[in-house]
Amino acid sequence: MKPTIVKREPVVDEAMDQCEARLTEEEIEKVINEVIDKETGGRLWTYINTCIHCGLCAEACHWYLSNDRDVSFAPVTKIKDTLWVMLEKKGKVDAAFIKRCSQISHTECNACRRCGMYCPFGIDIAYMILVVRRICAKLGMVPLYLQDTVHSHAATMNQMWVKPDEWIDTLQWQEEEAQGYVPSARLPLEKEGAEIMYSVIGPEPKFLAQLLGNITVIMKVAGLDWTMPATAGWDNSNMAMYSGDFEIMARVERLHHETAQRLKVKKIVMGECGHAFRGAEYDGPTWMGWMKPPIPIVHAIAFYYDLIKSGRIKIAKKIEGPITSQYPCNVIRNAGLGSKLRYIMSAVCEDFVDLIPNDRHAFCCNAGGGTINCGPPWKKIRVQSAKLQSENFKRTGAHTIVTPCHNCHSGVEDIVDGYKLGMHVKFFSELLIEAMEIPEHLKPKEE
């Protein structure tokens, strides 16, 4: 088979460059065969032996479609250029090849699983990409910025090097902020036996702290019994899941679930983040052999759906003007929350303009799957490869794009900047805070 013609601008990623210089071919061969023999089984074998090389997956991929149908971005090509070669050569490949594997799997694929849905055989190509990431991670070939977040997880059990006192300080600060709207609002820490443990991702306390204030108001208005942990275990994000470092992924997921068990809550409600849901609901529990999370996980979309549908939160005034929403892959295509998202969007927006394609067929924001966490070196190609979704946003004519996922939020902000769309990017909770009714008895009293 002829090698794929790959045209890319050179990118300097120090960690990958240093790793390339360090890796030996013996080490590479050993790790590849170890992962293939010990960590994969029926799925990989059947997928490789069933794929008839029809190329139908290409049409599913926003990387391929956004880059003028450059074949080097097609899903099947990504497998050809990584796993097919590894299997054919039985792991006898060089360090430059592994670097290219990391580039393909970490920086040019969001593991959004759209191609799996478009394969006539249902071959889960994203799963195979994660196998490639696993091999790369075991060899230490991970983009610098992504590996930094993994180090942060390992050292602090959160993604953003947030220190324990900073965490508690931030929560208390946001409790005070919330009390500006609803004086009786509380952000209860370490309340054993509460019904809900609310967990967020590292970036919330780090630079989106107002979201913690928002949820404090929402919980009070909805009259819910909730708590947040004061210890590590509050962060539900998991970049190790995406780098391929599944040992650290498992530590993070275990601590998150064990914290909820320590607090004896009935369920975990998580903020607006897609990959965090995936890690807590699926990747973490399956890797650890639990299969299902020990305590039910509720994503923000389903949580807000219940609050609005049951009337616990009433909408006072819908937000004006056309508003659209991104469909985060990990909670829509891969968790089926699409209709609930449309329900809550229609509930708070006067004019909800749906994306085309929508729901599980919607395209990725191109930030997911750890891609945005690969950092500045890889930003240009990432934004360039979101062209298709930028056109989809533009067509809606919306003034605001709602992103019920942190990765989507950052990714869509980059799209709006990069393609000069002139749209706002907001989380759903920001809309809800604006639109919801605060009952008279909860409002601040006039002095």
Partner 1 sequence: MYEFVSGPLVWIAFIVFIGGSLYRIYNMLSISKKEKVVFPHMSLKHSLASLVHWVIPFNNQYMRKRPIFTIVSFAFHICLLIAPIFLLAHVILWDESWNMSWWTIPEAVTDWMTIIVIIGCIFFLYRRLTDPVVKNVTDGSDYLLLAITALPFITGFIAYHQLFAYNTILILHILTGEIMLIAIPFTRLSHMLFFVFTRSYFGSEQGHVKNSKDW
Q: Note the residues at the interface with partner 1 (CB under 8 A).
A: 1-2, 4, 40-43, 45-47, 49-56, 58-60, 64, 69, 71, 74, 76-77, 80, 116-124, 282, 286, 289, 291, 332-336, 360-361
In 10 A of CB 243, how many CB atoms?
27
From the CB of 183, what's the least distance to partner 1, in Å? 39
Which residues on adjacent β-strands are paired with residue 403?
A: none
DSSP 318: P
The tokens for 15 are: 């960690």
Per the CB < 8 A criterion, the answer to whether 315 and 347 are in contact is: yes
**How wide is the angle at C-alpha 204 spanned by C-alphas 300 and 333, nearest 5°?**
35
- Based on CB atoms, which residue is closest to partner 1, 45 or 258? 45
| Shortest separation between residue 395's beta carbon and partner 1, angstroms | 18
Query: 6 or 222, CB closer to partner 1?
Result: 6
Q: Kindly state the tokens that stand for 32.
A: 């590849």
> In 394-423, which positions are buried (b, 16+ CB within 10 angstroms) versus exposed (e)?
bebebebbbbbbbbbbbbbbbbbebbebeb
In the complex, the smallest distance separating the C-beta of residue 386 from partner 1, rounded to whole angstroms, is 20
| Nearer Cβ to partner 1 (122/180) | 122
**Of all helices (H) and strands (E), which one includes residue 321?**
strand 319-325
**Burial of 21 per CB tally in 10 Å (0-12, 13-18, 19+):** exposed
For partner 1, the closer CB: 184 or 286: 286
Query: 24 vs 50, which CB is nearer to partner 1?
Result: 50
Least separation in angstroms between residue 232's CB and partner 1 is 28
Give the bridge partners for 200, in sequence order.
Answer: 235
Between residues 127 and 173, which has the closer beta carbon with respect to partner 1?
A: 127
CA distance 228 to 31: 40
How far is it, in rounded angstroms, from Cα 24 to Cα 44? Answer: 26
Other CB atoms within a 10 A radius of the CB of residue 26 amount to: 10
Place of tokens 């929350």: 337
Q: Cα separation of 105 and 134, whole Å? A: 10
Minimum Å gap between C-beta 80 and partner 1 is 5
> What is the DSSP secondary-structure string of 411-438?
HHHHHHHHTT---EEE-HHHHHHHHB--
Lookup: tokens for 143: 């983009």
Query: The tokens 């370490």 sit on which residue?
Result: 190
Nearer to partner 1, 141 or 335 (CB): 335
Q: Which residue, 126 or 162, is less far from partner 1 as judged by CB? A: 126
Distances (CA, A) of 69 to 74, 315, 388: 8, 45, 11
Closest approach of partner 1 to the CB of residue 63, in Å: 12
User: Minimum Å distance from CB 357 to partner 1?
Assistant: 8
Angle, helices 428-435 vs 338-348, to 10°: value is 30
SS3 198: strand
The distance of closest approach from Cβ of residue 328 to partner 1 in the complex, given in angstroms and rounded to an integer, is 12
Nearer to partner 1, 41 or 376 (CB): 41
User: Smallest distance from the beta carbon of 445 to partner 1, in angstroms?
Assistant: 45
Yes or no: say if 426 and 402 are a contact pair by the CB < 8 Å rule: yes
CB 254 within 8 A of CB 183: no
Query: Between 115 and 344, whose beta carbon lies closer to partner 1?
Result: 115
Nearer to partner 1, 55 or 376 (CB): 55
Give CA torsion, residues 101, 106, 107, 113, to 10 deg: 110
**Closest distance between partner 1 and the C-beta of residue 238, in Å?**
17
Q: Give me the least distance between CB of 419 and partner 1, in Å please.
A: 25
